[in-house]
């Protein structure tokens, strides 16, 4: 397919995390999993300005500690190494030393300073990393030169890889922003249970990169939920290597908003891919709130609805039980004018400014059988809006998680 123009940027078809200039990635089967790829790496030709956001779970896994320490002083990274199948979480001092060793051995293999290496892990909590397997995997870095292998190696219960890239013109130069992510279960707003990596060949000022990541995460990755559980290993990293030599991007740059629009699109699409691929999910749910007093309140309400188990199961059953939406909205912790409430399931409006309309269940069911279900909620309290994404809750979710370790 041809590349697709979207607003001020172009969506690149079949593009991967290595699409920006100067990045390479790969992945191998190291033996952490029975047969699937389970160890990956991402590399930039030059040190890249970098920033990260991390899980709000108080049990942060050892790789997150090591990565945060790496970014603390220089705010730069040149490589990321990732393993799946084992989270290296709740593993004490030994787990921390193992993560440090992953960082050091990767640096030695590539020939860079260890402070330029980020470490990420995902998988089962409370089990020590099999370091002989990890050491052998690190020795094989460079064996694969396919970014698709990296995108497969980071998966756990995911059913598919998640990747996207866009191109946007900045200072007359073609700037590329790409992303790859994993996430399927233990997904909840305020950092979903996921790993996400963003790369760009743009030159971005350090502090602006941090602020840009916080903004995009708040409006994308922090707006998704699958099951209400927040993991110990969640992390989003962004690397900007500056190879395109544009004028350093920051909020005063005349094309900063163009760059941010493209970056937010990449993050939003990855977030939606994670929600759509929720464990056992059959439908993506999108909840839109308009007319709230603040974006924060709108986001809180949207997340309350999309995170409701009763809403999620009703949508799985294609049951037009709109009362569950109202109940979740009222329990979301935000006070709003009930007389100004409007509600629609897709194109079928159920409530208009506090008044219940004639209910046509077959029309609602037509909306609920779709792969993507839209819930629109209108308020009369202000002008702010927000969107959150989730998925239905199915029998398969229980089955997958009842036997996750076995």
Tell me which residue of 180, 178, 177 sits closest to 202, measured CA to CA.
Answer: 177
Domains of the chain: 4-276 (3.60.70.12), 284-402 (3.10.20.340)
Phi and psi, residue 98, nearest 5°: -65, -40
From 161, 193, 216, 225, active-site residue: 193
Burial of residue 133 (CB within 10 Å: 0-12, 13-18, 19+) is middle
Q: Which residues contact 309 (CB under 8 A, 6 or more apart)?
A: 228, 393
C-beta separation of 244 from 174 below 8 A: yes
C-beta separation of 327 from 314 below 8 A: no
User: What pLDDT, in 10s, does the model give residues 174-230?
Assistant: 999 999 999 864 444 444 458 999 999 999 999 999 999 999 999 999 888 755 556
Alpha helices in 140-281 (DSSP H): 147-153, 206-219, 256-276
pTM (2 decimals)? 0.88
| Apex 269 CA angle, 346 and 55, nearest 5 | 110
User: What pLDDT, in 10s, does the model give residues 224-260?
Assistant: 875 555 678 889 999 999 999 999 999 999 999 999 9
User: What pLDDT, in 10s, does the model give residues 140-154?
Assistant: 999 999 999 999 999
The question of whether 161 is a catalytic residue gets the answer no
């Amino acid at each position: 397919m041809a590349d697709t123009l979207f607003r001020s940027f172009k969506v690149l078809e079949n593009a991967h995390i290595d699409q920006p200039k100067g990045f390479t990635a790969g992945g191998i089967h190291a033996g952490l999993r029975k047969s699937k790829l389970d160890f990956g790496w991402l590399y930039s030709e030059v040190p890249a300005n970098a920033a990260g956001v991390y899980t709000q779970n108080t049990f942060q896994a050892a790789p997150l500690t090591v990565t945060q320490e790496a970014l603390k002083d220089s705010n730069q990274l040149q490589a990321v190494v990732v393993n799946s199948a084992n989270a290296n979480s709740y593993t004490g001092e030994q787990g921390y030393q193992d993560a440090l060793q992953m960082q050091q051995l990767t640096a030695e293999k590539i020939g860079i300073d260890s402070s330029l290496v980020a470490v990420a892990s995902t998988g089962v909590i409370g089990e020590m990393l099999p370091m002989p397997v990890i050491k052998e995997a690190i020795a094989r870095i460079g064996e694969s030169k396919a970014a698709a292998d990296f995108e497969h190696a980071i998966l756990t219960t995911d059913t598919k890889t998640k990747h996207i890239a866009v191109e946007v013109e900045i200072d007359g130069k073609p700037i590329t922003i790409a992303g790859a992510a994993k996430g399927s279960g233990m997904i909840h707003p305020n950092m979903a249970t996921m790993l996400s990596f963003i790369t760009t060949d743009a030159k971005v000022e350090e502090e602006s990169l941090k602020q840009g990541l916080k903004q995009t995460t708040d409006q994308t990755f922090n707006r998704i939920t699958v099951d209400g559980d927040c993991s110990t290993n969640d992390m989003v990293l962004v690397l900007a290597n500056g190879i395109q030599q544009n004028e350093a991007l920051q909020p005063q740059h005349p094309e900063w908003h163009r760059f941010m629009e493209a970056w937010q699109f990449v993050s939003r699409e990855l977030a939606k891919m994670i929600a759509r691929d929720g464990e056992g999910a059959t439908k993506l749910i999108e909840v839109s709130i308009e007319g709230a007093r603040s974006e924060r309140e709108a986001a809180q309400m949207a997340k309350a609805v999309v995170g409701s188990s009763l809403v999620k199961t009703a949508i799985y059953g294609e049951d037009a039980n709109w009362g569950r939406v109202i109940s979740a909205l009222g329990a979301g912790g935000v006070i709003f004018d009930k007389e100004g409430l409007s509600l629609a399931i897709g194109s079928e409006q159920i409530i208009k400014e506090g008044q219940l309309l004639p209910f046509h269940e077959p029309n609602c069911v037509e909306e609920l059988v779709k792969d993507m279900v839209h819930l629109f909620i209108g308020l009369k309290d202000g002008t702010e809006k927000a969107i959150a994404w989730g998925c239905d809750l199915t029998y398969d979710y229980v089955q997958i998680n009842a036997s996750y370790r076995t």
